[in-house]
Structure 1
Amino acid sequence: MKRKIIEHGTSNAIILPKKWFDKYGLKRGEEVDIEEAGPMLIVNAEKIRSKQELIQIEQQYFVPYVHRVIGKLFQAGYDHIAVKISDAKDMEEAEKEALKNVMGLEVIKKTDKEIAFDIIISDTSEQYTKYERKVFQTAIEYSKFILDLIEKKEYAKLNDRALEMLNNKFSVFCERYINKTMSKNCVFKYVILWNLEKITDEYKYLAQYVKEQKVKISKETKEYFRESIQYLEDLYTLYYSFELAAYSSMYCRKSSILSKGNKLCLKKQPLEIMVILRLMNAVQGMFDCLGNVLVLNIPKCAATTILEKQD
């Protein structure tokens, strides 16, 4: 890899490769170690990369949702989370839930008065890229799984949340990575990932409702379900293979899909209407991702010209 030496005030500078910069979660203003080795300069980001964000909380202020607080702290980028215990029984349940729902979380210390968790998963760009794709894939697979069970009338299996929980884990990891690196366009990616998690939740709530209320789903509503899944699959394709025509198509289709849902609601019984409304919420969530996908891809569009900044 070659880099040009450029003038920087009265000094000389070399621009760091973006992939390397992002991979190690570097931020402008941080210091890196530079070591001379004869004709070579070694730029070392190891100390920065190994910096840990530490936090301690008191359980008594967060009962009964301590596990959710732990998850949010992981999502915010903390690497070491300590909890001062006030209710041992509640903390035992919180520990189980946190370990079940947070990827890479491990207990490293446990006493009567405190429990401490460390994050053992690597926050790398390669891991982010892999899990970002899995957020889409698990959302799509979970929606298909729920529809398949409804069509087979296997309502007892609608409690199976394995795919939905995986989606949560992948989403939260990606949101954590974005929070730690704060790379360009991070806000747009964060909103997309956040919406995908909520879309998956809509299918989860739909499944729970159908099982609890023993809702009979008509052929028309099943077809509407399939249409929502297709819209989600199209969003997935658009995100990884952006085309302006495909974006425009998705943008325009949203109105007709929601309009169809409204018309279905006028024809169906109250129990089935709730299912349709969940599907409409999911479609609206997918639509809310579109603008962010567009912003991420505008510089690559043939219809776009990036102008140089003028004085």
Structure 2
Amino acid sequence: MRRKVIQLGEGTHVITLPSQWARTWGIQKGSEVDVEEHGSRIEIHTENTRTRKTAQADLRFVNERTTRWLLSSLHKQGYDTIELTLDNTAQAHLVSELVRDLFIGFTIVHTTPKTLTLRAITQEIDEERDTLLRRAFLITLQQGEQLHKLLRERKQKDLFPLLDLEKQNNQLTNFCQRILNKKGHTDPAKTSFLYVITWNLEKISDDYKYLTEHFTKNTPAQETTELLYETNKLLREYYELFYSFNAKKLSALADQYRALESRIKKELPKDPVPLAHLLSLVLKIADFSASTFALHH
């Protein structure tokens, strides 16, 4: 958007703030904002918290899958109060499950036979985002490494607890996406890149879940187990790169990714279901590359 500069006196120049932005962040007469110079640009920001947002959703005509998508979307968008119209008690139980398993900092504050109201009871802060993202990385690494360990030890009956790790990943990545949508990155140009990494990490966790579910019923081929180990190693090295960036190391990981992709494709006909999930994992891990570079450039 463009603004005309107004001159007050000899040395004072004034521009108006966008009214929607001022309302969203509670800027009023007498409020203080920080102004930073960046060459030909200036940046204006505030320490105020965003005004609370409310959303309404009618769940009477949607199925379970759509209900999950809808509520996850509203949570990630940053709404603080979500008012729901329900069709039956089964939907109420589903919403309660989602609040418990997925929505960090939310609780049900009002309920009737046909309505539920959810409300955020915690304040999101930027420092939480960084801590929770690292925790999401570590949980995802644990998914893969524990899966490989149990398969190598032939303890498939012990795989089921690993499925809970995917739920923990969902909690953490959803909350990180919520913070990014509400506040963004400190450098606005980097918000989308961090969002892509967070979104991608959740999808990687899904692939580990699908592998775990498969191996609760099927015994892996030896080569598949070895390729799982190499995939886990690749993810750990990308994690280390994300927190200690080095362009030379990124180039080396690109070569490792291509070699691993080729090996998986070669073995794919021999064990197609788990290797298809591994191939998906490797491709998603490689997708970290451009966004990681952008965040550290």
Superposition TM-score, scaled by structure 2 size: 0.82
Per-residue deviation, residues 279-300 of structure 1 (Å, max 9, x unmatched) = 11101001011011111112xx
The residue number in structure 2 matching 1:178 is: 180
Structure 2: how far apart are the matches of 1:131 and 1:150?
A: 29
Match of 1:187 among 176, 184, 192: 192
- Contact conserved, 2:59 with 2:84, CA < 8 A, in 1? yes
The residue number in structure 1 matching 2:59 is: 59
Greater shift after overlay, 282-291 or 250-259? 250-259
Amino acid at match of 2:256: R
Per-residue deviation, residues 152-194 of structure 1 (Å, max 9, x unmatched) = 2222232222221111111111111111113321111111111
The residue number in structure 2 matching 1:286 is: 285
- Tell me, what secondary structure is at the counterpart of 2:55? strand
Match of 1:163 among 153, 162, 165: 165
Structure 2: how far apart are the matches of 1:264 and 1:106?
A: 47
Structure 1: how far apart are the matches of 2:12 and 2:142?
A: 55
Distance 1:27 1:257, change over 3 A: farther
- Tell me, what secondary structure is at the counterpart of 2:108? strand
Matches within 5 A, 1:64-213: 64-65=64-65, 66-160=67-161, 161-183=163-185, 184=188, 185-212=190-217
Distance 1:157 1:69, change over 3 A: farther
Query: How many aligned positions are there?
Result: 269
Matches within 5 A, 1:244-263: 244-263=247-266
How many angstroms does 1:74 deviate by?
A: 0.5
Amino acid at match of 1:194: W
- Tell me, what secondary structure is at the counterpart of 1:60? coil
- Tell me, what secondary structure is at the counterpart of 2:64? coil
- Contact conserved, 1:35 with 1:42, CA < 8 A, in 2? no
- Contact conserved, 2:23 with 2:51, CA < 8 A, in 1? no
How many angstroms does 1:242 deviate by?
A: 0.5
- Contact conserved, 1:71 with 1:98, CA < 8 A, in 2? no
Identical columns (%) = 22
Structure 2 residues not aligned, in runs of 5+: 1-5, 15-20, 35-44
Per-residue deviation, residues 197-224 of structure 1 (Å, max 9, x unmatched) = 1011101001111213x22331x22221
Per-residue deviation, residues 238-285 of structure 1 (Å, max 9, x unmatched) = 11111010111112221111011122225x2xxx33212211110100
Per-residue deviation, residues 99-151 of structure 1 (Å, max 9, x unmatched) = 22221120100111211001123210111111111121111111111112212
Amino acid at match of 2:272: I
Structure 2: how far apart are the matches of 1:210 and 1:58?
A: 39
- Tell me, what secondary structure is at the counterpart of 1:62? coil
Distance 1:159 1:61, change over 3 A: same
- Contact conserved, 1:85 with 1:113, CA < 8 A, in 2? yes
Structure 2: how far apart are the matches of 1:216 and 1:291?
A: 33
Structure 1: how far apart are the matches of 2:249 and 2:131?
A: 24
The residue number in structure 2 matching 1:302 is: none
How many angstroms does 1:61 deviate by?
A: 2.7
The residue number in structure 2 matching 1:217 is: 221
